[in-house]
């Protein structure tokens, strides 16, 4: 029986993935690394420090510390969310559905808490969630399941009684590893998401309701 709904943030609540790509390409360019959109898609679902560590391992730079690069990217994404962030289709209806079904609700993201808070405030949904959880202080980010397991603990719900909404492959893997039900809402159709319990083109609250009632 599903007792809680856990929402990813980037690319699920808000169309922030383009913001990340814009920020990463701009900031990494300042240290001589010219990333493409495809390069940035490689790290969807990763924590920011993991993204920076990856590109440093491939293209070591000088002039700025890794922490400085992280700060500049984070600051840029935050500004873009606050000025341009828009909700993705079905978000409000799906959150309303979960509340009507008396499910506990949470956001669990690889992003820093400052970005989670900026997003829920921009969308006006901060009070709709019982808890907000960032993987920034976890030992491992997604695809490790720790952020989802910690979220379930904070909600007081067993992981197997949680449903996770995810748009990224790494997020889907993390949800499955946490033994949760996973509804994938990928940006682009791909066979990589076939392991999910359900795949949607967008958060269709009617289909979500049917899934919850049948599980």
**Cα separation of 27 and 51, whole Å?**
12
**Cα separation of 7 and 78, whole Å?**
19
Q: CA of 125: how far to CAs of 5, 46, 59, 133, 153, in Å?
A: 15, 24, 39, 15, 22
31-41-43 Cα angle (round to 5): 70
3 state SS for 176-189: HHCCCEEEECCCCC
**Cα separation of 24 and 101, whole Å?**
39
Q: Which residue bears the tokens 């169309």?
A: 15
Rounded to 10 deg, the angle between the 66-84 and 48-58 helix axes is 130
Could you give the residue numbers annotated as active site? 8, 10
DSSP class of 85: -
**What are residue 123's phi and psi, to 5 degrees?**
-90, -10
Count Cβ atoms below 10 Å from residue 60 Cβ, excluding itself: 9
């Amino acid at each position: 029986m599903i007792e809680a709904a856990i929402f990813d943030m980037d690319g699920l609540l808000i169309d922030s993935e383009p913001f990340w790509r814009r920020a990463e390409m701009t900031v990494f360019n300042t240290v001589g690394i010219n990333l493409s959109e495809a390069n940035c898609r490689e790290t969807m679902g990763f924590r920011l420090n993991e993204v920076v560590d990856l590109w440093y391992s491939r293209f070591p730079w000088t002039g700025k510390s890794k922490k400085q690069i992280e700060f500049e990217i984070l600051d840029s994404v935050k500004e873009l969310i606050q000025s341009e962030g828009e909700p993705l289709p079905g978000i409000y209806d799906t959150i309303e559905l979960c509340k009507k079904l008396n499910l506990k609700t949470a956001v669990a993201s690889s992003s820093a808490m400052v970005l989670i808070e900026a997003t829920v405030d921009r969308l006006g949904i901060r009070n709709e969630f019982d808890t907000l959880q960032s993987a920034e202080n976890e030992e491992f980010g997604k695809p490790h399941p720790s952020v989802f397991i910690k979220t379930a603990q904070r909600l007081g719900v067993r992981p197997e009684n949680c449903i996770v909404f995810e748009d990224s492959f790494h997020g889907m893997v993390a949800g499955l590893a946490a033994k949760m039900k996973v509804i994938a809402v990928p940006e682009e159709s791909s066979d990589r998401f076939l392991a999910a319990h359900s795949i949607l083109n967008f958060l269709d609250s009617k289909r979500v309701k049917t899934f919850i009632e049948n599980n």
